């Protein structure tokens, strides 16, 4: 073969060899001899075969115990859920009474009315409530209840001295709740804040049923937003004999406030056999947002109420602030003494709800209230918590609060979307 032929010929496959047969015209393809495999690198000795060995009974027992206990736990949890589900008290049939979405240009007069007052509503509150559109209005299909400064209207000096302020549209029959005079020497001031209080009194109420209010709470020191209910007719007498239902109360102070700030909401019942004996401490509870504030977004505050139970919760029944069965009469629940003393005499304590069933005084029509209060002396803001600038028992409490205006007002957001309590919807159902 020439050199050129050698370079142009196709390469031969090394894995096969062709040999002529005796006839010279056929060939047989044979495989090359295999190279010997290398010696095994495995350790010498017998090979372990654990699958044919005798089972370890302790290991088998541990296996069955582990999975057996898991199955028992799952079964127990299912049984517990079933029986808890069976005993959860639920409302029966309810009929819609109010479906308010604030989609009109103003408040519906067939549903809402303002309470205009500067007397403190029995709580020593520091705001006056007005019917002004500065303090309550509808915006973007939401009701705003917005606290503002009185000094923005009459000036800072007038709040403290030489000014007479009268509420021309006052709704309180007590004239002392309709006007105030500022006097620096006497440390008497005009209420330093303005806000609003709206009710459905005389228009919409329920006796047993359901309430849902979807709202975003305000932020700012000493703000006191509330969604609550009072009896339409005071069947058993004046407060607290006829009861009070607080669906939601909160404090606008920030999370660092030591007496439950804006990351807490509270629900409670107020009741008692005489005017100065209120047993709210036996029927209250709260829920908390651990990583956020109730001023950050909207939540639904709900009441479910029947002759057998009353439940208050936020967003879900699992997040209940109060879940109370009417299994004993309220007079028995209060464990009241046979008699009490006031400043001058011993009073025999009578049961005002005698013979009226276990749900009395919560067995009568109640109407709804929405408001944002500011401060107060009833103890909602306890002394010694959060650098409070007044003492609840002091005669000049409102004066001291007004004098600290620059401090607490600095914590109120300038944006009214964050300073107002914004109510997106209100719904009420009556048991039927």
The residue behind tokens 């004999």 is 241
Contact by Cβ (8 Å): 87, 327: no
Whether pLDDT at 154 is above 90: yes
16 pLDDT more than 50? no
DSSP state of 420: S
pLDDT band at 51 (very low <50, low <70, confident <90, very high): low
pLDDT digits (tens, 9 = 90+) for 325-346: 999 999 999 999 889 887 778 8
Neighbours of 331 (CB within 10 A): 20
41 vs 70 pLDDT, higher one: 70
- Give residue limits of the domains in the chain: 95-431
Helix, strand, coil shares of the chain as percentages rounded to 5? 20, 30, 50
Note the pTM of the prediction, 2 decimals: 0.82
Residue 324's H or E segment, with its range, is strand 320-325
Question: Residue 377 in contact with residue 396, Cβ under 8 Å?
Answer: no
- Torsional sign, CA 212, 213, 216, 220: negative
Q: At a CB cut-off of 8 Å and minimum separation 6, what does 174 contact?
A: 119
Please write the tens of the pLDDT for every residue from 383-397: 999 999 999 999 999
Average pLDDT over the chain, rounded to an integer: 90
| Gap between the Cα atoms of 399 and 194, Å rounded | 15
pLDDT of 166 reads: 95
Residue-wise pLDDT tens digits, 188-209: 999 999 999 999 999 999 999 9
Going by the DSSP 8-state scheme, the letter that residue 183 receives in this structure is B
Name residues whose C-beta falls within 8 Å of residue 257's C-beta, 6 or more positions apart in sequence.
251, 385, 386
Q: Quick check: helix, strand or coil at residue 177? A: helix
Measured in whole angstroms, how far is the alpha carbon of residue 298 from the centre of its chain? 10
- List pLDDT tens digits, range 404-413: 999 999 999 9
Task: Categorize the per-residue pLDDT at 219 as very low, low, confident or very high, splitting at 50, 70 and 90.
Answer: very high
- Minimum mean pLDDT among 19-28, 223-232, 341-350: which range? 19-28
Rounded Cα–Cα distance for residues 295 and 301 (Å): 13
Going by the DSSP 8-state scheme, the letter that residue 188 receives in this structure is B
Spatial distance between the Cα atoms of 143 and 103, rounded to a whole number of angstroms: 10
CATH number for domain 95-431, candidates 2.60.120.200, 3.90.1150.10, 3.40.190.80, 1.10.10.10: 2.60.120.200
Q: Which of 368, 370, 372, 295 is nearest to 126 (CA)?
A: 372
| Cα separation, 296 vs 111, whole angstroms | 28
The per-residue pLDDT for 305 is 98
Half-sphere exposure of 266 (CA within 13 A, CB side): 20
CB 225 within 8 A of CB 265: no
């Amino acid at each position: 073969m020439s050199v050129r032929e050698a370079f142009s010929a196709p390469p031969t496959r090394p894995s096969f060899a062709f040999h002529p047969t005796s006839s010279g015209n056929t060939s047989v393809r044979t495989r090359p001899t295999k190279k010997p495999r290398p010696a095994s690198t495995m350790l010498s000795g017998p090979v372990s075969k654990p699958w044919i060995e005798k089972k370890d009974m302790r290991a088998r027992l541990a296996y069955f115990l582990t999975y057996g206990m898991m199955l028992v736990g799952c079964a127990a949890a299912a049984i517990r859920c079933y029986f808890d589900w069976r005993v959860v008290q639920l409302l029966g049939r309810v009929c819609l009474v109010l479906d308010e979405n604030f989609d009109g240009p103003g408040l519906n007069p067939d549903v809402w009315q303002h309470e205009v007052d500067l007397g403190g509503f029995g709580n020593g509150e520091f705001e006056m409530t007005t019917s002004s559109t500065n303090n309550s209005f509808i915006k973007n299909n939401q009701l705003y209840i917005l606290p503002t400064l009185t000094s923005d209207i009459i000036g800072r000096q007038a709040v403290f001295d030489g000014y007479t302020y009268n509420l021309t549209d006052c709704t309180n029959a007590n004239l002392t709740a309709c006007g105030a005079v500022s006097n620096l020497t006497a440390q008497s001031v005009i209420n330093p804040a303005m806000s609003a209080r709206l009710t459905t009194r005389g228009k919409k109420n329920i006796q047993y049923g359901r309430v849902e209010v979807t709202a975003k709470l305000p932020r700012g020191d000493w703000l006191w937003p509330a969604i609550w209910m009072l009896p339409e007719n005071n069947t058993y007498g004046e407060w607290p004999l006829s009861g009070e239902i607080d669906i939601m109360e909160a404090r606008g102070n920030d999370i660092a406030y030591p007496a439950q700030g804006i990351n807490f909401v509270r629900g409670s019942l107020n009741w008692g056999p005489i005017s100065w004996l209120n047993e709210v401490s036996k029927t209250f509870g709260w829920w908390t947002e651990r990583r956020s504030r109730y001023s950050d977004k909207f939540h639904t505050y709900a009441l479910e109420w029947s002759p057998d139970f009353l439940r208050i919760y936020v967003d879900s029944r699992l997040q209940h602030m109060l879940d109370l069965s009417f299994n004993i009469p309220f007079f028995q629940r209060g464990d009241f003494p046979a008699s009490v003393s006031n400043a001058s005499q011993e009073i025999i304590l009578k049961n005002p709800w005698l013979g009226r069933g276990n749900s009395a005084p919560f067995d009568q029509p109640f109407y709804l209230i929405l408001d944002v209060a500011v401060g107060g002396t009833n103890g909602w803001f306890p002394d010694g918590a959060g650098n409070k600038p007044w003492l609840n028992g002091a005669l000049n409490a409102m004066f001291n609060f007004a004098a600290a205006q620059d401090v607490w007002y600095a914590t109120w957001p300038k944006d009214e979307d964050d300073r107002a309590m914004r109510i997106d919807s209100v719904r009420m159902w009556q048991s039927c």
